[in-house]
Structure 1
Amino acid sequence: MGGKMRVLIFGFGVHGGGYAAAEYFLSRGHDVCITDLRSREELGYELETLASKGSRLVLGEHRPDDVAWADLVVKNPAVPASHPLLLKAKNIMNDMAWLLSNPKIDEVKIIAITGTKGKTTTASAIAHVLESMGKETQLCGNMGISGFTVADDWERRQAKAAHLPSYLVCEFSSWQIHDWFVAMAHHKIPRFTTAVLTSFFPDHLNRYTGLESYRKDKMHLFGPHCDIMLVPETIRKTFMREVSVPAKNVKSIEKLSATAQGTIPTSLHAAFATCRAMGFPPSLILEALKNFKGVPHRQEYVCTVASVMFINDSAATIPEAVVFSCSSFASLPIHLVCGGTDKNLEAHSLAEPFRQAASITLLDGSFTREKIIPLLREMNLEFSGPFQTMHEAVTVAWEKTVDRLGHTRNQVVMLSPGAASFELFKHEFDRGDQFCREVQELRKKEITSENEQSSDRPSTH
């Protein structure tokens, strides 16, 4: 778009996307207004930085006059597309639509990733492999890197006549796909070198009218604009019928990753399959993935205390993700910390991890009270909680491991909630951060206790 614009950031958010959008347009001389239902205190110091640069702030409400004022509305993905004020917007964009409508987009090979679970790990692992092969690669999307940040970098490169990166790996949530797809109705959709659906389970049913509308948003990412598509084998035939593309263009993640099974974690199979489909040598892909350190909040190793391994899997916000994560540690006793806010999902798939768990400690929340606890009582299984704080939950889970130390040494305490976080925490990353802090405090206390016991022992000299 040419000329000075009036840009409305509709939903500032707490993950940095609103800041990146506002900074992008302010730095190019546009008029910017930020509107959010939260207060200044809740949104933090970044808001004050933008205000000092000339952004107008409207907090605690969304006003029709601001939407009418704006030439362009940049919508936060957490704001429902059905919001009544947005129906009167002249033009709505999100960061991914802005980036992927860049005039130079065809110079970059695009890899698009979505899925109910596994998309952040897959996107990050693919970028890691490509970088290890000497291919300059940029990440953006749902993992917290705004498309506006990448767009800013590209425009700076273009001003210097510098090359753009070889690859762009984009992670899309279903909400981002919806907003991108609607916005791209006015733009040419670029070609995707590869598009990946990592998994599909019921999710966000508190936001969608049903599973079908959630599925439709995911499927908007795929089509004839994709050179290669990778999907789970269980849905490959259904996928091909819906997308109407040649069978040779749709690959099975499981079949392409068969040679990697047993050598890398299951969570990296989609990344391995994608890189294989793109023609990279399997041996080099495996070598790179073995050096991949993982992604925070996704089966993240925190530390080991007295032979007890602590795992932060706070990004497991649906029951099926808990099943998957527990299977990764099936050879060890797992002390499961779970529970939280309901997303209109069923809890029955948690039955197997509950049955196998060495102990179950519950965080409070609507999903915990209304679905997890009734399931546990029906199964006649013991549990602790529900607790209002992470400190209580970690303390009790640790005590459960101590009770078993005489019987077994190696154990796992895993935060894998299977639910949303909003009743007790700001978001799932805040929940995971609190878990990590509590575990590190526990570790310090145990080290101090060991040192004191050591100093109390009589000298042998």
Structure 2
Amino acid sequence: MGSRQVSTWQGKKVTVAGLGVSGIPAARVLHGLGAVVTVVNDGDDERSRTQAAELEAEGITVRLGDGSSLPAGTELIVTTPGWKPAKPLFLAATEAGVPVWGDVELAWRLRGPDAAPWLAVTGTNGKTTTVRMLASILEAAGLRTAAVGNIGVSLLDAVLGDTTYDVLAVELSSYQLHWAPSLRAHSAAVLNLAPDHLDWHGSMEAYAADKGRIYEGNTVACVYNADDKATEDLVREADVEEGCRAIGFTLGTPGPSQLGVVDGILVDRAFVDNRHKQAQELAEVADVRPPAPHNIANALAAAALARAFGVPPAAVRDGLRAFRPDPHRIEHVQDVAGVAYIDDSKATNTHAAEASLAAYDPIVWIAGGLAKGATFDELVERSAKRLRGVVLIGADRALIAEALARHAPEVPVVDLDRTDTGAMSAAVREAAGLARPGDTVLLAPACASMDMFANYNKRGEAFADAVRALAERA
């Protein structure tokens, strides 16, 4: 860490908002740079007290149970992503003229002069998968890289650690982008846009605007989803470097400056010598796992970012072949009595569930949980023709039941009036009773999991356990 960096921070009074996965590392980094760090945290539970004691032993001040008031003399706030912009602490900072950065902004500003460029990805769904695909492609090209941001290596570790990277594959949430005003990526992609986290952002317009920040100052390519006009609109509104190109991806036949699919082949008509007459074969649809439509879109976005960085076509193919998806993302658990059981517990909103439902036909759908303010009419209307039956669980299952009654009245529905963790076993048994050989039983809840489970992983594990128990009885 250069002496110039240290001197810049020496004695600077910085308030870190929130303990947790980004707050604690930020506090330690800033303290190491010579800043006078105070951490404020809303919670005052046993875990927080343990974390606070560790930080205070290092010379960092921690105020528990008081995340609202601005510590005297604060010159900068560095916030964890989850804290809402409307919190009193930030309103007080605005009044006092104190800037607020997120952990992404801090990492961006602490990069060295020879730092690796960032290939950045955001979107309502598919971010983690796309970034991991991108990292796999970059590795296949022989580049030193890491999947960072919301996943994998922390951004602060990536920019301050001993490892030297050629390029970073960066996943960014709308929260992180909101607090990253000076971020300027080499190239960036917005995968899709659908209502999500509106309680945090306040409106769909504010949510979309924060997603669109990822394009600001891009130097080579703004990658957008040609099948989702809202993402193209964000590109049009972005202020980019001279020469930066808009690159679309589509599940259909690509036009010039697009990547798409032709006869089962992923093709590039953007990064070729004559994009009006040429198309470069990159990989086969069969190289994408799983080859569900939305996952092919993820692969095209990853390929577009990699090609923007100069990666050769063979590396795209090899990287996609080497990639293995994370658990609970359209994960095939097993077949039982000729029925496929698919775990997509990660489908925690309607947009993700619709993508999952589009990948199979016919389906017995297991759905429900915490709706987070979502409505289900569009989802059910678009997916109704694929449904053999539906099993509903969770706190807000009635909202889905009402949408089914309006838009798919002929589809049989089993409404399990349960929110206990054991309900998943009953749901799988009921789904098996509705399914016929050749069908797919799909867990794609379209809801968050916290009414019944600690997280979507635990929900997916409960589903898989129930399927294996079903197989043992078969």
Q: Tell me by how many angstroms 1:340 deviates.
A: 1.7
The share of aligned pairs that are identical, in percent, is 23
| Aligned residue in 2 for 1:402 | 432
Cα distance in 2 between the residues matched to 1:341 and 1:101: 37
Contact residue 311 and residue 414 of structure 1 kept, 8 A: yes
Displacement of 1:125: 0.7
Matches of 2:402 and 2:247 in 1, distance apart?
Answer: 41
Which residue is 1:454 aligned to? Answer: none
Aligned length in residues: 422
1:357 aligns with 2:352: no
Alpha-carbon separation, structure 2, partners of 1:12 and 1:313: 30
Rounded to whole Å, the distance in 2 between the matches of 1:122 and 1:272 is 9
Q: Which of 101, 107, 114 pairs up with 2:109?
A: 101
* Deviates most, 79-88 or 435-444: 435-444
- 2:316 maps to a residue whose letter is I
Residue 148 (structure 2) aligns with: 140
User: 1:54: Cα distance to partner?
Assistant: 4.6
> Which letter does structure 1 place at the counterpart of 2:189?
V
Give the aligned partner of residue 249 of structure 1: 245
- Paired position in structure 2 for 1:231: 224
1:18 to 23, 46, 61: 23
Does the aligned pair in 1 maintain the 2:223–2:247 contact within 8 Å? yes
Q: Give, in whole Å, the separation in 1 of the partners of 2:470 and 2:379.
A: 35
Shift of 1:285: 0.9
1:292 — aligned with what? 323
Shift in CA distance, 445/316, structure 1 to aligned 2, threshold 3 Å: closer
Which of 63, 66, 69 does residue 64 from structure 1 map onto? 69
Could you list the runs of 5+ residues in structure 1 that have no partner in the other structure?
158-163, 451-461
The code of the aligned residue for 1:438 comes to A
Q: Are the equivalent residues in 2 in contact too, given 1:323–1:353 (CA < 8 A)?
A: yes
Does the CA-based 8 Å contact 1:337-1:363 persist in structure 2? yes
What TM-score do you get using the length of structure 1 for normalisation? 0.80
DSSP-derived class of the 1:93 partner: strand
Residues 370 and 448 of structure 2 are in contact (CA less than 8 Å); yes or no, is this contact kept in structure 1?
A: yes
The amino acid across from 2:442 in the alignment is M
Separation (CA, whole Å) in 2 of partners of 1:61 and 1:363: 37
2:91 corresponds in structure 1 to 87
Q: 1:433 to 1:103 in 2, by over 3 A?
A: closer
CA deviation profile, 1:245-303 (whole Å, cap 9, x unmatched):
68970011123132326332341222123323433333331222022101344324455
What SS class does the counterpart of residue 387 from structure 1 fall into?
coil
CA distance in 1, matches of 2:471, 2:353: 30
Residue in 1 that maps onto 2:269: none
Distance 1:205 1:95 in 2: 21
Q: Which residue of 1 aligns with 2:10?
A: 3
Ranges in structure 2 where 5+ consecutive residues have no aligned partner: 1-7, 267-283
Q: Which residue of 1 aligns with 2:442?
A: 414
Report the more deviating stretch, 34-43 or 134-143: 34-43
1:28-427 aligned at under 5 Å gives the runs 28=33, 30-41=35-46, 49-50=54-55, 52-64=57-69, 67-68=71-72, 70-89=74-93, 90-104=98-112, 106-143=114-151, 145-153=153-161, 156=162, 164-181=164-181, 184=182, 189-190=183-184, 192-234=185-227, 235=229, 238-243=233-238, 249-254=245-250, 255=254, 256-258=259-261, 259-260=265-266, 262-263=285-286, 264=288, 265=291, 266=293, 267=295, 268-302=299-333, 309-328=340-359, 330-331=360-361, 333-345=363-375, 347-366=377-396, 368-369=397-398, 371-378=399-406, 379-380=408-409, 381=411, 382-392=413-423, 394-403=424-433, 407-408=436-437, 411-425=439-453
RMSD of aligned alpha carbons: 3.2
CA 1:74/1:365 → structure 2, altered by over 3 Å: closer, same or farther? farther
Question: Tell me, what secondary structure is at the counterpart of 1:113?
Answer: strand
Question: How far off its partner does 1:386 sit?
Answer: 4.6
AA paired with 2:378? H
- Residue by residue over 1:325-374, the C-alpha shift from the partner in whole angstroms, topping out at 9 and shown as x without a partner, is 1222x1453432333232355542233335523332333234x34x3232
User: Which protein has greater RCO, CA pairs closer than 8 Å, 6+ apart?
Assistant: 1
The 1-side partners of 2:180 and 2:335 are apart by 42
Give the helix-richer structure, 1 or 2: 1
Distance 1:304 1:126, change over 3 A: same
Change over 3 Å in CA distance of 1:424–1:30 after alignment to 2 = farther
For residues 59 and 223 of structure 1, the distance between their equivalents in structure 2, rounded to whole angstroms, comes to 36
Cα 1:248/1:64, change in 2 over 3 Å: closer
What TM-score results when the alignment is normalised by the length of structure 2? 0.78
Judge conservation of contact 1:309–1:412 (CA < 8 Å) in 2.
yes
**Which amino acid in structure 1 is aligned with residue 86 of structure 2?**
S
